[in-house]
Structure 1
Amino acid sequence: MNQLAPAKALIAATYASAASHFDDPPLAFWARIGKATVSRVPLGPGDRVLDVCSGSGASAIPAAQAVGPEGSVLAVDLADALLARGRAKAGSLGLSNIDFRSADFEAMDIPPEHFDAVVCVFGIFFIPDMAAAVRRLWQWLRPGGTLAITTWGPDVLEPGNTAFWDAIRVHRPDLYKSFRPWERIDTADSLRAMLAEAGVTDASVEAEHSRQPLASPDDWWVIALGSGYRGTIDQLDAGTREAVRRDTLAALRARNAITAETNALYAVARKPSPRG
């Protein structure tokens, strides 16, 4: 078995568990940033799009709307429950040009230069060798096509992020994470360097500073249940889970935290055509 299989299985389980909260109002940033990513890609009617780590369709759905019925979107993710939500949302919008597929994009057999655009929102950092993954995506892009990779910027989901991990350190120090994978590319320079290592040397990178409004500090726990924090929460017994929730929300209520940082980096690169 591939040594990365257990790590990928954990990612799939985490986001399958988070799926029931993924589209709740406090997590509206998924759709907002997915749409903002697609808005940076010059899509037209009839284009073919690959969306990897697609979640419940935050970027795949606006891409499908942009390419129209003549075009197509292949949306790939490891979490079946998220894909099911994406299919339901696409169906409610009358979109029949999206194929939501459960697959590991690192194992997919796709001909080179098959897509007009390749999109990856909040997913590339889960791959240990990000540059190798980007090279794979780049080879599937036709000359003149566009690669769009979006990742988290600094201070992701603060102040709740710090409050949550402080509570974990108190109640389950063995689960405390001092490193988050997106921190490898949470600045424009580090993201450009990773892309350059992959051979993508002419990418534009735009940093966006934004916040997700919360109706109350308690909404941050909904974010935790509908995001990657869920993988840690699911390892807690009922008593410890309640203690972590209590301590996290007490810290946020004390400062009346009614926003969460959703800073993002948008990288967009056009694959050169034979004539430049």
Structure 2
Amino acid sequence: MAVSSPASDPLRGFDPKGTYDAAALDYEQGSRAFWEQLSTRTVDRMALRPGELVLDVPCGTGPSLVRAARDVGAEGRVLGIDYAEQMLAITRDKVAAEGHTNVELRTGDMTDLDLAPGSFDAVICVLGLFFVDDMSALVRSFWELVAPQGRLAITVLGDEFFTPMLDVFIHAVHAERPGFDVVEPWRRTADVDTLRSIMAEGGVPDVEIHSDVDVIPVQPDDWWRIVMGTGLRRTASALEEAEAAGVRRRCEDFMRQQAIREVTLTSHGVVATRA
């Protein structure tokens, strides 16, 4: 069985568009420093040059897109695509604030891009791969868009996702609603060997994979905004109001009792260059 095509639904009803349309503001404000650091690393590894054409999909609130726009300069061009309109609205504001005239933003689905093969010097996908059923097919479609000597960069999350608070959150959810199915799409690409297999099945066998660890300062009052600004929002929103309040209280109490002031996240950055 292909790694990217399991028999059962790997997302189990997870709705990325609805989740991140609703989460956009909290996504931007809850962990902005981490998203920007992750995106900056991704773009830096591509060593973009002035005048290059770049695709960023899904571009989200624009941290990698804005960095790419700076790197390719006025003679270059960056196309950002996302289907979460609220995320794109934040990106538009960032682009306008920095005065970039080399950026185009479109609403669209990354599984149906309708773009010409070989039309980009660089294709960037930060934290998007694990949201589709057939991940290898998505990799293949991205690779087809890369021009000769062009680069593909895909960044995913690792095993540590807001550790130790993710486990605390899940335990709190189960305490409020026993048996609730907490869907964690990012787990699908957390293992490096699995990620390498997905890339190979997508026609990209020769890749570099860089693994990183980030420690993010956090206060108890910050935690719920992080929840509501990430894929965990899907779980919190599915609970009854009183249940969600109970989960929030349990998490914040744990952080105060255990003096939790930081969380750990790991990520993997894949880079491939077309011959």
Say whether the fold is shared (TM-score over 0.5).
yes
Give the Cα separation in 2 of the matches to 1:250 and 1:149: 36
Matched, 1:128 2:128: no
Give the secondary-structure state (helix, strand or coil) at the position aligned to 1:110.
Answer: coil
Q: Give the Cα–Cα distance (whole angstroms) in 2 for the partners of residues 26 and 127 of structure 1.
A: 23
What's the C-alpha RMSD, in Å, of the aligned pairs? 1.8
Q: 2:37 aligns with which of 32, 37, 43?
A: 32
Instruction: Give the aligned partner of residue 78 of structure 2.
Output: 73
Q: 1:62 aligns with which of 67, 78, 92?
A: 67
Q: How does 1:141-156 map to 2 (within 5 A)?
A: 141-156=146-161
Output the CA distance in 2 between the equivalents of 1:173 and 1:110.
46
* Paired residue secondary structure (2:111): helix
Aligned residue for 2:243, secondary structure, equals: helix
Deviates more, 1:247-256 or 1:263-272: 247-256
Q: Equivalent of 1:184, from 185, 188, 191?
A: 188
5+ long unaligned stretches in structure 2? 1-8
Partner of 2:5: none
Aligned partners of 1:126 and 1:181 also within 8 Å: yes
What is the aligned partner in structure 1 of residue 102 from structure 2? Answer: 97
What's the CA shift for 1:231? 1.4
Task: Label 1:9 to 1:110 Cα distance change in 2 as closer, same or farther (>3 A).
Answer: farther
C-alpha distance in structure 2 between counterparts of 1:130 and 1:246, whole Å? 36
Greater displacement, 60-69 / 19-28: 19-28
Q: 1:260 aligns with which of 250, 263, 267?
A: 263
Give the superposition deviation at 1:266.
0.7
Instruction: Give 1:205's aligned residue.
Output: 209
Shift of residue 77, structure 1, vs aligned partner: 1.0
Correspondent of 2:236 among 216, 233, 236: 233
CA displacement, residues 9-38 of structure 1 (integer Å, 9 cap, x when unaligned): 821111111112122154421111011100
**In structure 1, what is the Cα distance between the partners aligned to 2:252 and 2:194?**
33
Output one character per residue of 1:24-71: Cα deviation in whole Å (capped at 9) or x when no partner: 154421111011100000211111111111110011110011111111
Q: In the aligned structure 1, how far is the partner of 2:128 from the partner of 2:68?
A: 17
TM-score when scaled to structure 2? 0.92
Q: How far did residue 209 of structure 1 move? A: 1.2
Structure 2 Cα separation of the partners of residues 268 and 48 of structure 1: 17
CA drift at 1:271: 0.8
CA contact (8 A) 2:54 2:120 kept: yes
3-state SS of the aligned residue for 2:123?
A: strand
Distance in 1 (alpha carbons) for counterparts of 2:153 and 2:227: 26
Cα pair 2:69 2:76 within 8 Å, conserved: yes
Look up the equivalent residue of 1:172 and give its one-letter code.
R
Note the alpha carbon deviations across 1:188-214, whole angstroms, 9 max, x for none: 222112111111111000111111112
- Conservation of the 8 A alpha-carbon contact between 1:146 and 1:270: yes
Letter in 1 for 2:227: A
The residue aligned with 1:251 is 254
**Using the alignment, how far apart are the partners of 1:101 and 1:260 within structure 2?**
34
Following TM superposition, by how much is the alpha carbon of 1:176 offset from its aligned partner in structure 2, in angstroms? Answer: 2.8
User: Which whole-Å CA distance do the structure 1 matches of 2:32 and 2:70 have between them?
Assistant: 22
Match in the other structure for 2:3: none
3-state SS in 1 of match to 2:235: helix
Deviation at 1:7, TM superposition (A): 8.0
**CA–CA separation in structure 2 for the residues paired with 1:8 and 1:72:** 36
- SS of 2:66's equivalent? helix
Runs of 4+ in 1 over 6 A off after TM superposition: 6-9
The amino acid of 1:200's aligned partner reads V
1:162 aligns with 2:167: yes
Q: TM-score, normalised by structure 1?
A: 0.91
Corresponding residue of 1:108: 113
